[in-house]
């Protein structure tokens, strides 16, 4: 069963679209911008992958936040 969550866009990004674009360009992780669902200041993340793959994806998203966010 897949579960989705909407998460606030980290500081340093204009909106969900800019954050998601950066994540896919920097770490090849695809997230959905919340603006597609009426929440421009959020992004959607799905929790349907096996645990190991999910953890790897979250680690990659964390790297983008640590390296780019708050800039």
Cα distance between the two ends of the chain: 36
Q: Is the per-residue pLDDT at 70 higher than 80?
A: no
Do 45 and 31 contact (CB within 8 A), yes or no?
A: yes
Radius of gyration of the chain (CA): 11
Q: How many residues does the chain have?
A: 71
pTM of the model: 0.86
pLDDT at 48: 83
pLDDT at 68: 82
CATH assignment of 4-68?
A: 3.90.1150.10
The pLDDT tens digits for 8-62 are 999 999 999 999 999 999 999 999 999 999 999 999 998 887 889 989 999 999 9
Sequence ranges of the domains in the chain: 4-68
């Amino acid at each position: 069963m897949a579960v989705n969550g909407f998460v606030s866009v980290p500081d340093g990004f204009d909106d969900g679209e800019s954050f998601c674009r950066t994540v896919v360009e920097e770490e090849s992780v695809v997230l959905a911008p919340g603006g597609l669902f009426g929440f421009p200041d959020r992004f959607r993340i799905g929790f349907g992958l096996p645990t190991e793959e999910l953890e790897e994806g979250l680690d990659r998203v964390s790297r983008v936040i640590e390296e780019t966010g708050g800039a």
